[in-house]
Structure 1
Amino acid sequence: MTEKPETPALGYEQARDELVAVVQQLETGGVGLEESIALWERGEHLATICQTWLDGARERLAAASGTDHED
């Protein structure tokens, strides 16, 4: 039996929107090193949440269509 990853507290759209804002803030610059590092870490966390949602959706689609898609 395979363990399913825990569903993230943030929804996909919320995590994606926040990730976009973080990326824009980093691209714009004007923040200090400490804040840049904190933003980067937050972005990494948000990207992981988004990937978890996408992986779960892929698994559900594969199960619904009767295919086993492992990439």
Structure 2
Amino acid sequence: MDKETLRFEEAMSNLEQIVQKLETGDVPLEEAITLYKKGMELSAYCHGKLQDAEQQLISIIDKDGNKTPFDPAKGLENNE
């Protein structure tokens, strides 16, 4: 898994495929363990990407380069 070029959507798709394989129950134990480990890595990667996106959404960088919390009730015009 090349995390440098892996997009969130690709990681989620890979994770869904792993879950489907594991849910069938037809996977040999060794392969199941390998799939589980890869699934955990993908899950952590996706979680990190979501946290990064959340941080970007809750703060705005104004025209002077300062980060300010975003208040959806005020809208963008009061944060600029």
TM-score (structure 1 length as normaliser): 0.78
**Separation in 2 of the partners of 1:24 and 1:64?**
39
Flag the structure with higher strand content: 2
Q: Which runs of 5+ in 2 are unaligned?
A: 62-67, 71-80
Matched pairs, number: 61
Once the two structures are TM-superposed, the CA of residue 67 in structure 1 deviates from its matched residue by 2.4
**Separation in 1 of the partners of 2:17 and 2:60?**
34
Percent of paired sites with the same residue: 36
| Pairing partner for 2:54 from 44, 48, 58 | 58
Once the two structures are TM-superposed, the CA of residue 63 in structure 1 deviates from its matched residue by 1.1
- Determine which structure has more spread, i.e. the larger CA radius of gyration: 2
TM-score (structure 2 length as normaliser): 0.69
Which shows bigger deviation, 59-68 or 24-33?
Answer: 59-68
Deviation string, structure 1 residues 34-67 (Cα, Å, up to 9, x no partner): 0000000000000011001100000000112942
Q: Which runs of 5+ in 1 are unaligned?
A: 1-7
Flag the structure with higher helix content: 1
| Pairing partner for 2:69 from 63, 67, 70 | 67
Stretches of 4+ aligned residues off by more than 2 angstroms: 64-68
**Separation in 2 of the partners of 1:25 and 1:31?**
7
Alpha-carbon RMSD across the aligned residues, in angstroms, is: 1.7
Letter in 2 for 1:54: L
